Amino acid sequence: MDMKIIFRCHIKGWLCLLGPVALLLAAGALYAPAMADDDTSAQSGLQQLKLERAVVCEGIEDLKPINPAITFSIERGSIMCFTRFAAVASETYILHRWYRRDELVSEKKLALKPPRWSTYSSMQLRESDKGPWRVNIVASDETVLTILRFSVTE
Amino acid sequence: MPLDPLTGVIRWQDVIDILLNTYILFRLYVLFRGSQVMRVMAGLAFLYVFQRVATEVGLIVTSWAMQGIIAAAALIIVIVFRNEIRSVLQAQNLRAILWGVPGKTAATPVDILTESVKELASRRTGALIILPGREDLKDLMQGGVEWQGLLSREMLLSIFYNGNPVHDGAVVIEGRRVTRVGTILPLSQRQDLPQRFGTRHRAALGLAQNSDAMVIVVSEETGKIVLAKGQEIIDIHDIQVLGHHLRRHLGIVPEPGKGFKRETVKLSAAALICLVCMTGIWFSFTRGIETLTAMQVPVKFTNRAAGLEIFDTSASMVHLYLSGAGALVKNMGPDQVKVSVNLSRADPGKNTFNLSSSNVALPPGIRLNRIEPAVLSVTLDKLAAKNLPVQVNWAGRAPDDMRITQASVSPGTIRLVGASRQLEAIDTIYTERVDIGKLSASGKLTTRLLLKQPTLRVADGADDRIEVSYVMKKREAKKS
């Protein structure tokens, strides 16, 4: 089990920022209805934290989740939980709580920085990990932003 | 002195036990003495002794046959002697059954009777007079007229007067009254009766040999007096002898003081015999060969606090290892042994109880040696309800190039009812395993909820079927 925190902030001045942000927000708005599995509309009211995308996937490449799904073969060896926040008002953190059935397996604290941030945590899989899982994405004030449900299969 | 029968000492309960049963036996003797019931009871007692001896000696078939007869004895007695039992119970009030000595107070005026019989004989007036014993004669007698007249010499002479319509039948005398006249009696079928005996004599004997009644016959032809009692026929030549027989039959003694003393001695002897018999029976029951037995008994949970439910027990049955006298163990029924656990002080959650003899109710004389398990845990909790999200439990192996990217379930949440602590511990309710190896394209399927905890159930008996809509897509290859 390892954890990586990736942040990449694209700040090249006001003019550079406005265009991509607008495009990303528009893309996020279009993408959200199709992602019934990850409840991305949740917000942390205290910190104006807007979760744009949350998925469990096979890997991350170029800050994009690869093969997001809700079933993963144990043979993959590891899986990742990717979260992208469209609006981060101030430096804060979130928690990725990994549960196998109702048992807490791991809790990962991930930093978030303004104005946008993407981050992920990963989970190494073992033979005994087959079964239903969930990852609770929790804000620093313990608000559950979303719950991602998936299964580890043969 | 408080003593235990199993340790060789007699407790006060045992003394009461023996005395109570002695009195019951004594009352049965008092109520049924002189009747055929007592003779049959004596016969059964003999059979019992005979059966025990046969068992001890090793006579297998004899012992088995005797055992069968004795087992059916209660039924036989009730059926065969229903009339006698009925007459005792109907004729006596409760006080007389429990305390009194029946049949000795309502004295029939023997002198009037003997004088009347003498007069009838001298006039050669045929007569048939019944003096009932303890047995009911209703089934043996037919016809007749209800009379209830106070007994007098004149009345008897007039009843048997030739011109009287009822003179041919028998009269029944009970106490001081003539209760019935013109009664028809069954005729004896005996072949050994003298030729001089006519129908009247056969009728007298027919009743006497089938009951404990005494019947007086006055021959119309010879004027001779005959007494019939049981199988016996007694010629009466002296009226004093008749009086003696009548008094004996009716339980009337000529000298009250002496008779009372004799009766007291007789009853005391009977009471003593009853005491000896019952003591013997008691010892044979309680001092028999020590026998061990094991029983599986359900545990009864009592005094549960309102609002608390039993959600789990480590055992619902316990094994009891018991010992006691062979007869007591053999006669012990499963409903006589009870195990109970008092939950009045139990709290929500897991409660542990050490089982001991205080939890076990046993019949007297039976001893508890061991309980398995000796410790019982009972989980109590309040009944609660909770809405839980439903998650599909995907399993199996998907085709290598395919992945399920989305799924939605309907209903998305289920309301579960069960122990509040168990409900607190779970956040999701899962479905049965859904094999993804059988899926090849997006679609819908139906599965069911899998409730692993037996105490949980879907609220209001709602359906536990879950509809799943899923989306399958091809996997993207990773950039290397």
Residue of A35, A66, A102 lying closest to B427 (CB–CB) = A102
Binned at pLDDT 50, 70 and 90, residue B347 comes out as: confident
A69 touches chain B (CB under 8 A): yes
Contact A69 B430 (CB under 8 A): no
pLDDT over threshold 90, residue B376: yes
Share of chain B above pLDDT 70, in %: 91
Superfamily of domain B110-250: DNA integrity scanning protein, DisA, N-terminal domain (3.40.1700.10)
Residue carrying structure tokens 């033979």? A127
Query: According to the model, what pLDDT value does residue B90 have?
Result: 66
**Contact between residue B305 and residue B382 where contact means Cβ atoms under 8 Å apart:** no
Best probe of the B interface among A70, A82, A147, by most B CBs < 10 A, is A70
- pLDDT tens for each residue of B306-317: 888 888 889 999
Binned at pLDDT 50, 70 and 90, residue B8 comes out as: low
- Spatial distance between the Cα atoms of A101 and B452, rounded to a whole number of angstroms: 12
Q: For residue B404, which of B432, B435, B446 has the smallest C-alpha distance?
A: B435
Q: Please give the residue of chain B at the shortest CA–CA distance from A132.
A: B393
Cβ contacts of A82 on chain B, cutoff 8 Å: none
Q: What's the gap in Å between the CA of B332 and the closest CA on chain A?
A: 51
Determine the average pLDDT of the residues in B218-247.
88
Binned at pLDDT 50, 70 and 90, residue B257 comes out as: low
The ranges of chain A with pLDDT < 70 are: 1-47
Q: What's the gap in Å between the CA of A45 and the closest CA on chain B?
A: 23
Binned at pLDDT 50, 70 and 90, residue B253 comes out as: low
What contacts 24+ positions apart, CB below 8 Å, involve B162-165?
A: B162/B125
pLDDT over threshold 50, residue B45: yes
A129 touches chain B (CB under 8 A): no
Q: Among positive and negative, which fits the CA dihedral B395, B398, B403, B407?
A: negative
- What's the mean pLDDT when you consider all of chain B? 84
Residue extents of the structural domains in chain A? 1-46, 48-153
CATH 2.60.40.1930 for domain B383-474: no
Q: What's the gap in Å between the CA of A67 and the closest CA on chain B?
A: 6
Which CA distances in Å does B450 have to A103, A132, B187, B428? 17, 13, 85, 11
Q: Which residue has the higher pLDDT, B136 or B405?
A: B405
Binned at pLDDT 50, 70 and 90, residue B288 comes out as: low
Q: For residue B204, which of B177, B175, B176, B236 has the smallest C-alpha distance?
A: B236
A127 touches chain B (CB under 8 A): no
Question: If you ran DSSP here, which 8-state letter would residue B335 be given?
Answer: G
**Contact between residue B374 and residue B436 where contact means Cβ atoms under 8 Å apart:** no
Q: What's the gap in Å between the CA of B442 and the closest CA on chain A?
A: 13
Query: According to the model, what pLDDT value does residue A39 have?
Result: 41
**Contact between residue B131 and residue B183 where contact means Cβ atoms under 8 Å apart:** no
What contacts 24+ positions apart, CB below 8 Å, involve B423-428?
A: B423/B384, B423/B385, B423/B386, B423/B456, B425/A102, B426/A102, B426/B388, B427/A99, B427/A102, B427/B388, B427/B389, B428/A101, B428/A102, B428/A132, B428/A134, B428/A149, B428/B388, B428/B389, B428/B390, B428/B391
pLDDT over threshold 80, residue B137: yes
The CATH code of domain B290-373 reads 2.170.120
Best probe of the A interface among B388, B400, B405, by most A CBs < 10 A, is B405
- Spatial distance between the Cα atoms of B47 and B201, rounded to a whole number of angstroms: 37
Binned at pLDDT 50, 70 and 90, residue B136 comes out as: confident
Contact B430 A71 (CB under 8 A): no
ipTM greater than cut 0.85: no
CB pairs under 8 A between A and B: 70
Contact A71 B425 (CB under 8 A): no
- pLDDT tens for each residue of B104-135: 445 678 888 888 898 899 988 999 999 988 77
Cis omega before residue A132 (within 30°)? Answer: no
Neighbour order of strands in the sheet with B402-410: B402-410, B465-474, B443-448
Element (H, E) at B372: strand B367-372
Tokens at residue B185, please?
A: 């009696």
Cβ neighbours of residue B180 closer than 8 Å, sequence gap 6 or more? B141, B144, B145, B146, B147, B171, B172
Cβ neighbours of residue B326 closer than 8 Å, sequence gap 6 or more? B288, B289, B290, B291
Share of chain B above pLDDT 90, in %: 25
Cβ neighbours of residue B338 closer than 8 Å, sequence gap 6 or more? B297, B300, B360, B361
Q: Which of A141-145, B95-99, B220-224, B463-467 has the lowest mean pLDDT?
A: B95-99
Residue of A71, A99, A102 lying closest to B436 (CB–CB) = A71
Q: Which residue has the higher pLDDT, B359 or B57?
A: B359
Domain with CATH 3.40.1700.10 in chain B: 110-250
Contact B428 A134 (CB under 8 A): yes
Interface of B with A (CB under 8 A): 389, 391-398, 403-408, 425-428, 430, 436, 475-476, 478-479
Q: Which residue has the higher pLDDT, B244 or B103?
A: B244
Crossing angle between the packed helical segments B12-32 and B256-286, to the nearest 10 degrees: 130
The CATH code of domain A48-153 reads 2.70.50.30
Query: According to the model, what pLDDT value does residue B259 have?
Result: 60
- pLDDT tens for each residue of B145-176: 888 888 888 888 899 988 888 888 899 998 88
Question: If you ran DSSP here, which 8-state letter would residue B6 be given?
Answer: G
Cross-strand bridge partners of residue B298: B317
B-contacting residues of A 11-30, CB under 8 Å?
Answer: none
**Contact between residue B143 and residue B203 where contact means Cβ atoms under 8 Å apart:** no
**Other beta carbons less than 10 A from residue B422's beta carbon:** 19
Query: According to the model, what pLDDT value does residue A142 have?
Result: 92
